[in-house]
Amino acid sequence: MVLSRRGMLFGTVGLGATLGLGLTLPGGVAAASVAPPAGPFPALPPLPAGAPVRKLFSPLEQRFGPYLAILPGMVNDIEVTDPATLGYMGGGWWRTPSVPTNARVQEHVFTLSWFHANARSWNPYSGNAALLKRLDAAIAHYLNLQHADGSWPEYSVTEQSKAATGFGLGYLAKTLANLRQANALPTRRGQIGTALHQGMTWFLDPANPIWESPIHYANQNTSGLASSTRALQLNPDAAMQAKLAGRIAYLAAHGQSPAGFFYEPTGMDINYNFEVMIPELAEIYVLTGDKTVLSMASKFASWFGYNVVREPDGTGSLTYVGMSARTTVTGYDNVIPDPDRTNLGSFFVPEVPALAPFFTSAEDRAATRAEWAAASGPAPGLAKQDTSPRILAHAPYGESLPSKAAKQAAIAQLPYLASTDFAVQRRDDLTNQAYTFIRRPALYLAAFLGTRPSSEVRGSAGLLWHPAAGTLVQSQQDDTQCWASLLPNGNPDARSNLDATYQVGGRAWDGQRIVPGSAPVVVDYALPDGRIHTTLTVTPNTVTRAVQGTSALTEQVPLVLKPADTVSFSDGTPIGYGRNSAATATGLTIHRGSQAITISWGTALAASVTATAVNILSTGGRRIHVLRVPHGGTLSTVITLP
C-alpha cells in the first residue's frame, strides 16, 4: 500500500485511503488533494555580500528590504524531504503554533510569489527556479490543508478558522495575481482559483456561524471581505459578488458598535480596530470605492478621537488602553517609520480627515525613508514572528498619508482640543457598555463602566490628561496597574462589572453631549456585592474619588511620569523616576515644567510609589509608576490640576 502525503500528515490512513475512496476526515477535512511538485528542490542561494542595498530601493518599496533579507532563510526552511509535510513553511518565521497543520503558517506564499514575479535592481530572485519550485510545494501544502467546505484550520486539524480562511483567501488571491504576472505554474493557478471559490462559498454564506450578531472579532470577518473583493476581481462571479455586497452591508450593521468601535470580540481594541480593521476596510475602499466601508471608517474616527490623546510636546499620543479588550497598545509615536501596518488605512484620510491625527505625515515619512536609505550597511532582516505578510501585501497599493499641515489641522479638531468643556457618553446598550468622556478647562477624563467585554478590560476611570502637562494617569490591563480600589486580597474593583448612575449639577444625566459649565459631573458606581462604593466627581479642575468600603482598601493610581518631573510626597520625601519610594504623607505633588499637579488624600497615611517596566512612546521617557495608599475603607482622593 502507498501512503498518501495527506494521510500521513493527518494520521488518517486507513481503508478509505487504501481503496482510493473520497475519504472525509473529522471536521470536514477532505482526503482528496492536489499533487505536490516532484523534486529535486535546490536551496535558494544566499544574497550577495552587502545586500539588500538600501539605496537601490524606491521610497515606497523600502519595506521590502527587511523581507528580502530573510527570504533565503524562509525559503530554505520549507520542508522538502518529508513527503508527509512537503511544502510546510517551517522555521517558525510567522504564526504560532508553527506546525504543518496551521494554515496561517503558509501565508508567506504571497511573499515568495511577489519576489519571484517582480523584477527589481535589488531583487536577485525574480524568476528564480529554485524559489519557484519551493513556492510550488508551499502552495500545494496550503491548498491541501483546506477543508471540503472551503475553510482552513489554524489551531487544530479540524478547526474551521475564520481568521485562517479570511486572511488566507487574500494571500492566495494575491499569490494568484503574482503567478499570472509571471506566467508561472499554470496548473497551480487553476487549483488556487478553485480553492478561492470554495473558500468564498464558506466565508460568504449568511448561515455560517461566523456571522452571528453582534459579529465577534470583526477584523477577521473584514479580512475575508477584503480578500473576496480581490479574488473576485481576478475571477469574476456575479452570484458571489452579490453575496459579498450583502456581507459588507451586514458587517456595517452588526460588526460596528453604535458607540463607533468595531467588536473585538464585543468590545473595543485599539490595536485590532486601528491597525487591522481600518486597513482591511481600506483595501475594499481602494479596490471599489465602496461607500459603506467609508461610512464605517468615518464613524470609527469620531469614536477614536476620544480615546487617543495627544501629548503637548508633539512626541505622540497615549491610548485608553485599559478598555482595550484584547491587546496592549499604550501609545503611538507621532512619527512611525516603515514597516507600518496601518499605511493602507491612510486612503480614508482625504474623505475622513478625522483619521489624519493617527497617521505619520507624508513629510515625516519621507524623512524616515531618507534616513533609512542613507544608513550604513545592508537592510537588516526581520526577527522571527515579526514578519507579517500583510505589510507587503498592502504595499503595492501605495498610501495617502496626510501632509503635516493637514494633520495639524485635524489634530486641532480632536474633541478634547476643539472644546474645553463638554461631557458625553458613547453607549452600546446591546452589550451594556458605557464610555464617558469629560472635558473641563483643566483636564480631560475618560471612563468605562458597565459590562466588561473581556477579562482584559479594567473599568472605572482610566485616562486623565492635562492640556499643558499631557497624560498624568493611564490605567493598564493589569490588576496591579489599573486605577482602582484594591480589596484586601489585592483584587481591584476595576476588574468587575460596574454599573453606574450619572448626574450633572445634581440632576440625572442621560449621556447626551452637554456643556457642564461650573456644575460638577458625578458618576456613582459600586461592586455588585456592595463591598466598594465609589463616587467620582469631576469639576473644572479636580477629579475626586470618594470611596467607601466594608473592609480595609488600597487606593491605586497608575501615574505617567517623565524623567524631568520633580515629584515628592507632602512630607518632602522625593519620588524618584524609575525608583520605588514610600512615606507617611497626606499627598504628593508632580511638577512638570511650569505645571504643578497635586494628589491629596487629606490624612497622613503610609503611601508608596512603585516604578513599573511599562514605558510609553519611544521618546520622552514616559513610564508608569503606581501610587498606592492603604486605608481603613473610607477615603477621598483629590487630583487638582492647574
Q: What is the pLDDT of residue 358?
A: 98
- pTM to 2 decimal places: 0.94
**Alpha carbons 10 and 578: distance in angstroms, whole number:** 52
The pairing of strands 634-640 and 542-549 is: antiparallel
User: Which residues does 484 contact at the CB level (< 8 Å), separation at least 6?
Assistant: 458, 460, 475, 492, 493, 494, 495, 556
Q: Identify whether the C-beta of residue 223 lies closer than 8 Å to the C-beta of residue 280.
A: yes
User: Which residues does 331 contact at the CB level (< 8 Å), separation at least 6?
Assistant: 316, 317, 318, 319, 616, 617, 622
**Alpha carbons 384 and 74: distance in angstroms, whole number:** 10
Q: What is the pLDDT of residue 20?
A: 28
The list of the chain residues with pLDDT below 50 reads 1-8, 11-31
Residue pLDDT, tens place only, 389-445: 999 999 999 999 999 999 999 999 999 999 999 999 999 999 999 999 999 999 999
- What is the DSSP code (8-state) at residue 363? H
* Residue 169 backbone dihedrals phi, psi, to 5 degrees: -55, -40
Q: What is the pLDDT of residue 33?
A: 87
Q: What is the pLDDT of residue 13?
A: 34
Q: What is the pLDDT of residue 608?
A: 98
Q: What is the pLDDT of residue 220?
A: 98
What 3-state class would DSSP assign to 410? helix
Q: Identify whether the C-beta of residue 247 lies closer than 8 Å to the C-beta of residue 232.
A: no
- In angstroms, the Cα distances linking 515 to 424, 512, 574, 640 are 9, 10, 39, 20
Grid coordinates 514616559 are at which residue?
Answer: 622
